[in-house]
């Protein structure tokens, strides 16, 4: 298993600081938030991209993914979404990242229409991604927060350059058990995003293993040769504890989870029906 964390936990930090933290704290990679607030994004120049890749390479850290904000199921015409996907793919290729992350974003549409948008756009972008050695990953989020909903789209796309990011928080909030999530995404999974929170009502991030998410079950369901990425949402919760001081403990907790040394907690090991849908 390889370990990464998201730069969402270090909002606006220079890339060299994020890469140095990852290397010094035993993480193999970074999920790079691709937003204009961050050092690298789709409008970064060729020089900035080349410098970013040199920084990552010098630190011995992999760019796991470019975490973009394209919404493939959203209403509207296709070309702006496809242009955004192409820009994210170019950025990922320049950084030698194997994945880009995209959102569904179809909450304002009936399910059938949202699915149709996502399928059409992902199919259209897939050959471009494949040519650049990049895989588009649809996150379990917003309108498609369960693995079953994401898989409903991905089964129809049926292209090797399109898959899924499993965000454990969102499938849990939707009441989906980790074993069911893994089953639904078995043919599509790129990597797993882990995190922890105090409750379904209080989503301020906490250290891994100190909250209520079913991390033992989720990690047990993850491929042993894949990636676990800690998405610590400091950007959205500025009062949360700072991430750097938690990195070593978080990585060690993930290693214990992978080794099966952390038992499932009775609060989170059930069918998922104990948790309200959000």
- Look at the chain and report how many structural domains it folds into: 1
Model confidence, pTM = 0.95
**pLDDT of res. 212:** 97
Whether 246 maps to a domain, the answer reads: yes
State how far the Cα of 48 lies from the Cα of 212, in Å rounded to an integer: 40
Whether 11 maps to a domain, the answer reads: yes
**pLDDT of res. 263:** 85
Whether 186 maps to a domain, the answer reads: yes
Whether 270 maps to a domain, the answer reads: no
Whether 265 maps to a domain, the answer reads: no
- The pLDDT confidence band at residue 223, using thresholds 50, 70 and 90, is confident
Domain that holds residue 151: 2-258
pLDDT per residue as tens digits for the range 20-66: 999 999 999 999 999 999 999 999 999 999 999 999 999 999 999 99
Closest Cα to residue 124, out of 77, 78, 87?
Answer: 78
Pairing label, strands 62-71, 29-33: parallel
pLDDT per residue as tens digits for the range 85-119: 999 999 999 999 999 999 999 999 999 999 999 99
State how far the Cα of 28 lies from the Cα of 137, in Å rounded to an integer: 20
Whether 44 maps to a domain, the answer reads: yes
Return all residues near 217 (Cβ < 8 A) that are at least 6 apart: 177, 178, 179, 264, 268, 269
Whether 117 maps to a domain, the answer reads: yes
Other C-beta atoms within 10 Å of 129: how many?
Answer: 24
CATH code at 112?
A: 3.20.20.150
Average pLDDT value for residue range 11-24: 97
Which helix H or strand E contains 227, and what residues bound it?
Answer: strand 227-230
Whether 268 maps to a domain, the answer reads: no
């Amino acid at each position: 298993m390889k370990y990464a964390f998201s730069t969402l936990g270090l909002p606006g930090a220079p890339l060299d600081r994020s890469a140095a933290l990852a290397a010094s704290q035993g993480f193999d990679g970074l999920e790079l938030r691709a937003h204009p607030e961050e050092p690298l994004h789709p409008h970064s120049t060729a020089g900035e991209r080349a410098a970013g890749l040199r920084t990552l390479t010098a630190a011995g850290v992999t760019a796991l993914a470019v975490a973009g904000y394209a919404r493939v199921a959203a209403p509207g015409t296709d070309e702006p979404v496809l242009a955004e996907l192409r820009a994210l793919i170019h950025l990922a290729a320049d950084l030698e990242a194997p994945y880009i992350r995209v959102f569904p974003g179809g909450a304002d549409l009936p399910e059938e229409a949202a699915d149709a948008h996502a399928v059409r756009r992902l199919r259209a972008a897939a050959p471009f991604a494949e040519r650049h050695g990049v895989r588009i990953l649809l996150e379990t989020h917003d309108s498609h927060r369960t693995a079953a909903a994401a898989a409903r789209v991905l089964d129809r796309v049926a292209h090797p350059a399109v898959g899924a990011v499993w965000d454990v928080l969102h499938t849990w909030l939707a009441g989906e058990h980790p074993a069911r999530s893994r089953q639904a995404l078995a043919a599509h999974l790129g990597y797993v995003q882990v995190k922890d929170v105090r409750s379904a009502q209080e989503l301020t991030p906490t250290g891994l293993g100190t909250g209520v998410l079913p991390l033992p079950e989720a990690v047990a369901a993850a491929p042993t040769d894949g990636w676990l990425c800690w998405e610590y949402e400091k950007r959205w919760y500025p009062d949360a504890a700072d991430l750097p001081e938690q990195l070593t403990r978080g990585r060690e907790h993930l290693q214990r989870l992978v080794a099966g040394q952390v038992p499932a907690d009775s609060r989170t090991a059930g069918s998922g029906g104990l948790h309200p849908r959000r």
